[in-house]
Structure 1
C-alpha cells in the first residue's frame, strides 16, 4: 500500500493587522515581540517541529478567502491542508499532527478546546477545488458548512489564542511564561 501524501500546513500571513494597530500596537502584529521573538517565529517553530510540509502565504491578499485560495493553488499536490493563521503562536506541534491525522477519517476537522473552535482547520484533498476558488473576508466558512466539520477535542489552548490586539499579546506572554 502506498503512503498517503501528507497534508500541507498553510500559514496565513497576509493580514493587515488593523485590529492590532487600533488597539495601540506598533507595526505588523506578526512581527510583534512575544518573549523576545516575533509572533510569526513562534508559529513557524511549531509548524517546523511537525515535519509536515508547509507554505507561508504572505502576498498581501485582500481577504482570508483570497489567502487560502492562493495557498491551496500553490500547493495543489498536497494530501490536504491545515489552515493556520500566522498569529497563533501558542499552538502546539502535537495538535497540528492530531488534526492532520484526523483528516484520514474526515473531509474537514476543527480542533476544539474548552468548547471553543479554533485553528488549524484541516481540509481533505476533496475540498481542494472549493478552497482554491475562495474570495473575500470569510475564509473557508462556506467549505466548512458544505462538508460539515468533525470536531476534534484537544488539550491545547493555543488553538484559540490569536494575537489580534495588544491585550491578546500580553495574555499570550503570560500563558507562555506559565508553561
Structure 2
C-alpha cells in the first residue's frame, strides 16, 4: 500500500453545460493558454508528487466514476477527488489536502474565501463507502456522513483554482484571465 493518498482525476463527464454555452466538443480538450484544460490539470497533479489515477472510462454519473477509480486504486492510503475541469488547482494545495488525512480525520475539504472547493480528500477508512457510490451526487453523501461524525478537516487555502472549474465558455475565459494575471 502506498502511504500517500492517490489523486483521482475525473474525466468521464459529458460537459453538457459547456456545449450549451457555445463550446465545441469536450471542455477538457478546450484550449486554455494554448494547452488543453485536462493537460493543465494533469500537469499540476504530477507536479504535486502524489500518486494519481485518471478515470476517463465514460461512466454514467460522477458517483460511478469515483467508485470505479477507488476500485482501481483500492490499495491507496486515501484519495483526493479532483474533477478534470479544475486546471488551476496548485500542486501545493493538493499536498496540503493530502497532509490533512491523518489521525481521526477521515476527510478534508479546502475552501477559498469561504467557498468550498476541490479536491476533497478521503482517508482509507472511507474506501467501502466510496466504492459503493453511484449516480450523479459524487462523494457528497460520504463527505456529509464524515461531517456529521466530526471527522472532516476544513482547510482555508489561498488558491482560487479550487473553485475555478470550466463548465462554460465564460468560465474558460475567466480561467484564462487568471492564468495571464498570475504570470
- Normalised by the length of structure 1, the TM-score is 0.97
In structure 2, the partner of 1:163 is 166
Contact 2:2–2:76 (8 Å) recurs in 1? no
Q: Give the length in aligned residue pairs.
A: 177
Counterparts of 1:165 and 1:150 in 2: how far apart (Å)? Answer: 30
1:65-118 deviations in Å (ceiling 9; x for gaps) = 000000000000000000000000000000000000011141010001000000
Counterparts of 2:24 and 2:42 in 1: how far apart (Å)? Answer: 21
The RMSD of aligned alpha carbons is 1.0
How far is 1:4 from its partner?
A: 6.8
The equivalent position to 1:174 in structure 2, one of 141, 159, 177, is 177
Counterparts of 1:35 and 1:147 in 2: how far apart (Å)? Answer: 38
In structure 2, the partner of 1:153 is 156
Structure 1 outlier segments of 4+, above 3 Å: none
Q: Where do 5+ consecutive residues of structure 2 fail to align?
A: none
Say whether 1:122 aligns with 2:140: no
Counterparts of 1:46 and 1:103 in 2: how far apart (Å)? Answer: 20
How far is 1:13 from its partner?
A: 0.2
Q: Where do 5+ consecutive residues of structure 1 fail to align?
A: none
1:46-73 deviations in Å (ceiling 9; x for gaps) = 0000111100000000110000000000
The equivalent position to 2:77 in structure 1, one of 76, 79, 89, is 79
